[in-house]
Structure 1
Amino acid sequence: MRKISKKNYDLVFKEAFSIFDNRSLAFLGIDLPPIISFLVTEIPEVETTDDMMDLNFRLEDGSILHLEEEMNLSKRDLIRFAHYDLRLFRYYDAPVHTVVLTPADSSSGTKVLDIGSLQYNVLQIVLSDRDGDALLSQMRAALEKGEPVNELELIFLPLMKSKLTKIELLRRTIDLEKELPEKDLRNKVRELTLILADKIVDQKILDELWEELRMFKVVKYAEEKGMEKGLEKGLEKGIKKGMEKGKKQERETVAKNMLSLGIEDELIIKATGLDQSIIDKLKKSLSLPTQ
């Protein structure tokens, strides 16, 4: 069973917004100057050296965008963010805009912390307030016309409100992501979507979608290496045909890729013709546990 921790969600948030930094403001729906660069997220301080902000960007007007992701926004979070923002202001001497992305909340909009002499506010963006059905339709129409889309919206789409069940919305999102024109970006978007989906769907369904993505990657790798085109008859048979013509080094390369995708040793051995001792050596080189 695939286990996904809270840290994985944080990593998805950071990676998604890092990859698509130039599309972040459009996704967030906020009127701020364009992003021009990343800023550090760890600012040394005597009292707190371990705290790190999620993401910081320098905006075109010199101000700073501070992005955070939280399951729920609490008073304790506001105190922590206020502390971060004071450090940012002291470090860069520039205005700070703090935006907090949450899957759901009973009240959306600006959140305020009032402690008398200091008043602090953040903008909370609640994904479940957004119309996932309308976005799905818009994205499908754009991809059919060959028009660009905001991939960030696809990653977070399954967390939005919909007349569909969460499982059906996730499946339709994944199917739509298959139509993204850039292969590497397509796979990355699907991976990030599936990790976030751990919050909302049954583990069995999620495992099936992960397995589909794994198999898709292996099949595509085989095709790109010029292997035989009999893959529709089965992954094992298709790869093995290519391996019969391949060199040992190439077979080991394929085995490494399959190991990194979590494919079982038995299938790798059958597909590549390598023995268990070589598989164990490859695992060791990848810092993976051996049998």
Structure 2
Amino acid sequence: MRKRKTRGRRSITYQNKDVVSKIFGENLMNKLLAVYGVNLPKIKAVMPTNLPAIEANELRIDNLFRLEDDSLALIDYESRYKAENKIKYLNYVVRTVKKEHLYRNTDQVLRVIIIYTGDVTREETKAELDVGCLQFNVEEIFLSELDAIAIEQNLTKKINAGEELSDEEQMEFIILPLVYRTKEEKQTCIWRCFELGKKIPCQELQVFLLSGLLVFTDKVIKREESEKIRRWIMMTKVGRLFEEEKIAYGEKLVAEALEQQKRKEKQSLMEIAKKMMKRGMSTAEIQGCITNLTYEEIERLKA
């Protein structure tokens, strides 16, 4: 019997991702999406991203938002451009129209926004699909046009100084790894963001930023890193303090053990030095043999 191959692309199982997405979504209300370079009203509600259909398969989009003007914004993230992806986006649109019964309300606006990571430039893509009976347009956002280094320097400076982040800076934190071009740069930036996020004193903001970081970088983050960040998010404040105290206590025990070992070694060297003195050896001669003892220590031992 052949074993079914598991697909290892996703770093977080959908059950875990749903939990993290829920944490992220609950804190996303009233945020602006201006950091993307698109002028949209504030987010009013985060909507379910699974789009069931009569067919056997189920589509899952990256984000679906209801905005303050009651329009819908369907946002997807891509690390490369494929013309055939527009068929995927059309499927998203059709199923969203069916699920939300938009065909009953001709005034309802649905916007499709594709955010390209730092891998893609404006010259590589085409926003329109025109097949005669159908004209389909997506709004394209290019993170490659943002200055990743300047954003990271500003965030690092403000967080280290304990300054409050604006709504736009919070969204910059979440998408920062995707602004970098190569996979390696993205992955190292994810870890830097995680270490930086842990310094934020407000637990609610910390959880929002780190859960957003997980959700947005799901396609590029390493499995082991995603699990570490997820465990940090899931830990209660008490649990986290206990974990930190446990680590500190362990480090203290190791330090005490090393100190005790040093004292034992020093005592052993002292005994050897005493025997050398009984044989009439000078302080200089003893120090030449036992370099771990200073001249002053040997003189005090003689006294």
TM bucket normalised to smaller: 0.5 to 0.7
Matching residue of 2:112: 98
- State the secondary structure of the residue aligned to 1:105: coil
Q: 1:156 aligns with which of 161, 169, 175?
A: 175
- What is the CA deviation profile of residues 85-141 of structure 1, one whole-angstrom value per residue up to 9, with x for unaligned ones? 244345223111111223222436761111112111112323333211111122234
Deviation at 1:145, TM superposition (A): 5.4
- State the secondary structure of the residue aligned to 1:8: coil
Matching residue of 2:83: 75
Amino acid at match of 2:79: M
Q: 1:8 aligns with which of 12, 21, 33?
A: 12
Unaligned runs of 5+ in 2: 1-6, 255-303
Deviation at 1:68, TM superposition (A): 1.6
Matching residue of 2:163: 146
TM-score, with structure 1 as normaliser? 0.59
Matching residue of 1:135: 151
- Aligned partners of 2:21, 2:116: CA distance in 1, in Å? 14
Matching residue of 1:116: 132
- Aligned partners of 1:183, 1:54: CA distance in 2, in Å? 25
User: Closer, same or farther in 2 for the Cα pair 1:19/1:56, shift >3 Å?
Assistant: same
Matching residue of 2:274: none
Amino acid at match of 1:124: E
Higher relative contact order (CA 8 A, sep 6+): 2
User: Closer, same or farther in 2 for the Cα pair 1:198/1:98, shift >3 Å?
Assistant: closer
Amino acid at match of 2:39: D
- State the secondary structure of the residue aligned to 1:6: coil
Deviation at 1:65, TM superposition (A): 0.7
The RMSD of aligned alpha carbons is 4.5
Query: What aligned pairs does 1:204-215 form with structure 2 within 5 A after superposition?
Result: 206=225, 210=228
- State the secondary structure of the residue aligned to 2:127: strand
- Maintained 8 Å contact 1:20/1:151: no
User: Closer, same or farther in 2 for the Cα pair 1:158/1:38, shift >3 Å?
Assistant: closer
105-114 or 183-192, which deviates more = 183-192
User: Closer, same or farther in 2 for the Cα pair 1:114/1:237, shift >3 Å?
Assistant: farther
- Maintained 8 Å contact 1:27/1:153: yes
Matching residue of 1:183: 203
Amino acid at match of 1:100: I
Aligned length: 230
TM-score, with structure 2 as normaliser? 0.57
111-120 or 178-187, which deviates more = 178-187
User: Closer, same or farther in 2 for the Cα pair 1:119/1:18, shift >3 Å?
Assistant: farther
- Aligned partners of 1:88, 1:197: CA distance in 2, in Å? 23
Q: Does 1:39 align with 2:47?
A: yes
Deviation at 1:31, TM superposition (A): 0.8
- Aligned partners of 1:175, 1:39: CA distance in 2, in Å? 30
Deviation at 1:219, TM superposition (A): 10
Amino acid at match of 2:174: I
- Aligned partners of 1:131, 1:29: CA distance in 2, in Å? 13
Amino acid at match of 2:113: V
Amino acid at match of 1:199: V
Q: 2:61 aligns with which of 50, 53, 61?
A: 53
- State the secondary structure of the residue aligned to 1:221: helix
Unaligned runs of 5+ in 1: 239-291
Identity across the alignment (%): 21
User: Closer, same or farther in 2 for the Cα pair 1:32/1:233, shift >3 Å?
Assistant: same
58-67 or 134-143, which deviates more = 134-143
- Maintained 8 Å contact 2:32/2:42: no
